[in-house]
Structure 1
């Protein structure tokens, strides 16, 4: 992996598609109803602060992923334990994203197909991409990025032309005050999707222009936050806050309402294509992050074997984690942000950040 390199444009494309990933599928921040778009802006602000911590660690160890510099900061064995924990964390979150997209396909398109079969087919594509390497994924992301942005603009134009958007659905602003907005933004929207950028602590060392790492991450968070905000505004503007919040996949329902003279209609398959592109990037980044964490921490040379094992583990986990999609969503909203995301996205990086700077201060003294 030492010879792998990513250009600034490739890493930026991967980051934006990763951030959109599954967050654009579910109704992000809909617990705040018509103020959901405010929660995204607040969560994005917190995401900037988190990425500054990740970038500071990267500047301290520009040639190492988190799994390696954790050993230098905390010691060999505590660092290895952290590397193992991050590997399992990335597999689990990747499996949750895989479950999201498997359920999306089953619900919207292939209702008679078992979930396992859908997830297996997605996993085969993920495995193929993983075996090709991150450089191939980076080049693919550049193409996918252009496709997703172009189709997104087209959908917005079609919604406006169809006169589906009603600004009054976004009113009144802050009807119940700031309390529900802040409770939704922190930690839910902060950790999903913005805090998930912690996985890129494994990828930043492979950047050609290492000095660009912080800037690329901040720009990616900004653009993805703006896109998510616009998406939520249009979902609420088209369907209303109550219907958007109760919808399983509000983006599909929004796009499904487009109808121009009974000619341009039923655009759901194109929307699913956009969603699957983001899902593919997000899953493969998490599984790559897991593989990097284990391989660098324990000097594992059999990269392809490790990739196969991790992909199979994510596939099995995606089926076994919950009994149904409703339970899957409830765990994702009420358990994962507090007991997994906060420790791995905030707690451990903040600990490493503080210990690193204390050591640097002592060295200067």
Structure 2
């Protein structure tokens, strides 16, 4: 890509990272305040993210946000609603896995509490809409440094160009380099686990049922895709995960069948299999003068509850609403007092979810007999209390009055 010099074309908001968080933030900003100049800088080549073969669970609140942004109608034909969810707790060698907890797959007004959507479809739709809305896309570039100035921040790009912005948003992932450059420290730890992500086809239909099997090494989730296909999020100890993903196809299939079971008939792995290290990372601050963290750069949590992507959408919705409201009042969106509203809005929720997922992982990712009795009794009690189960479903719906407007299905 040729060198880019945008020093004479300042923007209001520059977003580092062109994944679903950066794209949804950029699109929400342009939908809410079309006069805002918004740019995305992403090191991946154009179209690379849209070729991601993985899939993600989109909770009801995130679905309403995508609908409010005008995208859900186009995404819906490629999505698979989750109509039911079951939870088991057993050992890998157990011949039977008793079901301790079941959830009907609906939130408010009968809408599914989640849909499975291919990542390529999601990012492709966001990208097309952002470009159409007027977001400037700089692919093959990354932010290498930035310096706060009076009234703006000077941003240096990897191609040698520079750009001035009122606000720099880091949506560059859990290992955010920009977070480090901003001097924002984190708290967290590794779990010594890796998440294996793969897709399988199977002989029998899943009927929209999602399954989470708590095994001693960690949760093994089977998430339904369109057709007789499912997405796997498979937690193992890191050394075991590395052995599994580098095994030959025959060995990989045997390991998979031990955990997947035979209730959906013969299974066949599809596409690549990858493993990602798992840990907890929480930023001590979400903002600094003319700088904000969004998505995994602010918080990376265990996938045991499937909430990582949805937390990122919540961040994007809250930050977009904060910036748009400031812009409508003629205020500078990069000032610390404006950004601290976003931090107050989102930090407690993310810390709370981080602690919940950390506790769940420690409770279930073991083979301790005493803990097994306690957790199985607890799951059984929850299963017998419909109102408590409704509260769990309601948390995914996120329809309360304190939620950002986009998550309630309202436009900015």
Shared fold by TM > 0.5?
no
More strand by share: 2
Higher RCO by CA contacts (8 Å cutoff, separation 6 or greater)? 1
Greater helix share, 1 or 2?
Answer: 1
Kindly name which structure, 1 or 2, has the bigger radius of gyration based on alpha carbons.
Answer: 2
